[in-house]
Amino acid sequence: MSLLDGVITTIRVLFAAFIPVCFLAVLVWMERRGCGFIQDRSGPNRANIFGFRLAGIVQNLADGLKLAFKEDVIPAHIKYKFYYVLAPVLVFTIAIVSFAAVPFADALVLDGKTYLMQGIPTDLGVLWFLAIVGFAVYGIILAGWSSHNKYGMLGGLRAAAQVISYEIPMGLALISLLITYGTVNLTGIVQYQGQLLFGFIPMWGIVLQPLAAVIFIVAAFAEANRVPFDLVEGESEIVAGFHIEYSGMKFAMFFMGEYVAMFTSSAVIVTLFFGGFQIPWLSTAFMVEHTRLVVLLLMIALPVLAHLFAGWIRKNNRSHYARENDPRIFEATWYIRALWVVLILLELLLLVFLIIGAGGAAARILAAGLQVTAFLLKVTFMCFVYVWVRWTLPRFRYDHLQKLGWQTLIPLSLLNIFITGAVVLALS
């Protein structure tokens, strides 16, 4: 293995392993601030480091440290301690591994070699996701069973029933997609979505398969055990469900596993239906061939975006009631100064790139960097949809949940397969 192979492999593995974990703080912050906004309150706004709250992210750090150092209690009535400890590890690990096959940029060509930008460079990306995501429920079932608690057991049984109900329509929705794309390779699927319909409409999955998109997204919400499909936890009737007997770091792993699963499912949804790493109307070939134009557009767009972000900081980083010498205004001033310093450094870097006119490998690396940024922005927006739905919709009743899966989604997914097959045959 050459040095370049080692560097690219390291980057892929680190991205696939650490990006979901790093996003934990962002997702928890988004959850708390999002529900605070919907409920007309501030959300976490007290914890700080030398007066800097980072819009509430410091509170997540404080909570993480608390759970890390909290006493880890194993109740005396637990009979199978190995399975009791294994359950949260299984939930967290599977959530991360599921993301490993998702491409975060187009195939990168360097020194005549092609590198798939995935943690695990496999051609069977869709099958990998289906195979791995099905294992997540075993951790929940194992937690409920090993806890030796009737409420935990009830939560585990609900998880099993929910998975059976919604993995079937999810798989059927994917079949119609595979008929359309003609491949199970996730990179190939995203490249297909880079084409234009009628010369100006991106051929995203949401455009070609809107019904499959709705079915898959609903099933993904159910697989992630998020509202309105959170009967697995059901705090109002089964007292936190499957993780009722867990505390300390083991509970934290369940908590983190939920958000990593939300990030992973958002990444898969974006990859299948919203163009993945593709930037609308800016294909990889176009960005490589017109690098100077792309850099010039970035130099114009970044100050505009920085100005808008600075305005958002000024608006949201102040006390609810007017007060003299508001420390949050002082805090916001330093945030904005740091923002402009970063912007100036980026502009200088882009200016050097523009003057030198670097091409070849540098142009392809720049295109890959922009695609990674676009991919993460799309995933972040999809995660916000998860938060939005959670704090907007009520929980389904159990019979309604089962009826939606078996009597609505499965017939619709079968109908969609029939329509897709008929259209493909007619156009072939």
Give per-10-residue mean pLDDT for the chain (428 aa). 79 85 87 85 82 84 85 84 89 87 88 83 82 81 84 81 87 91 89 87 91 93 83 66 80 86 92 92 87 90 94 79 76 92 94 78 87 94 91 84 90 93 86
Residue 290 lies in a domain: no
Cβ–Cβ contacts within 10 Å for residue 371, how many?
24
Q: Are 211 and 408 a contacting pair, CB within 8 Å?
A: no
Query: Is this prediction's pTM over 0.85?
Result: yes
Task: Find the angle CA(345)-CA(349)-CA(352) to the nearest 5 degrees.
Answer: 140
Tally of domains in the chain: 1
Token pair, residue 349, equals 């870097």
Round to whole Å and give the CA distance between 203 and 180.
11
Residue 248 lies in a domain: yes
Note the pLDDT of residue 377.
94
SS3 state of residue 196: strand
Note the pLDDT of residue 67.
83
Q: Give the range of the structural domain holding residue 179, as residue numbers without chain letter.
A: 3-278+359-427
Round to whole Å and give the CA distance between 8 and 14.
10
Q: What are the start-end ranges of the E strands in 102-183?
A: 108-110, 113-115
Give 407's DSSP letter: I
Residue 60 lies in a domain: yes
Residue 119 lies in a domain: yes
Residue 292 lies in a domain: no
Residues 6+ apart with CB under 8 A from 398: 158, 231
- Name the residue among 169, 177, 262 with its Cα closest to residue 215: 169
SS3 state of residue 32: helix
Residue 306 lies in a domain: no
SS3 state of residue 4: helix
Residue 321 lies in a domain: no
Note the pLDDT of residue 238.
62
Note the pLDDT of residue 268.
93
Task: Find the angle CA(220)-CA(89)-CA(231) to the nearest 5 degrees.
Answer: 40
Task: Find the angle CA(60)-CA(63)-CA(67) to the nearest 5 degrees.
Answer: 140
Residue 346 lies in a domain: no
